[in-house]
Amino acid sequence: MPDFRRVTDDLSVAPQITVADVAEAARLGFRTLISNRPDGEEPGQPTAREIAAAAADAGLPFYHIPVRGAPTPEQVEATRLLLQEAETPVLAFCRSGTRSIVTWSICQATSGAMDRGDLVALGRAAGYDLSGVLGA
């Protein structure tokens, strides 16, 4: 069973998903996939192209915003714009899910959409510590 971690009604994050997990995500009602994982980080990981093909087969829009280390302001802004238009719920993933939830939380904090303390609590509930990222 894939490790899809609900953050809000509109967003879940996950460690690296497989091609088979894409169909499961569609079956569970996810409407958009975002990959924050660069290709080639480790041997055997599915490529963005492979996940994109599975997403197309499942009828899911797929977006690739690869993040190495901390997300850049450009990656945060690209994510913010994407999330404004994306059909929800969204499933975002990377190697562990950390870059995905960090990028999302920075979007929320810098836009004023959510309080930093609330974001830290949502991260904690999903199994991620955002306190160092958000300074809360």
Return the structure tokens found at 55: 């997403």
Q: Walk along the chain (136 residues) and give the pLDDT tens digit of each residue.
A: 789 999 999 999 999 999 999 999 999 999 999 999 999 999 999 999 999 999 999 999 999 999 999 999 999 999 999 999 999 999 999 999 999 999 999 999 999 889 999 999 999 999 999 998 876 5
pTM of structure? 0.95
Q: Homologous superfamily of 5-134 in CATH?
A: Protein tyrosine phosphatase superfamily (3.90.190.10)
CA distances from 110 to 4, 22, 77, 122 (A): 25, 30, 10, 16
Listed by start position, the domains of the chain span 5-134
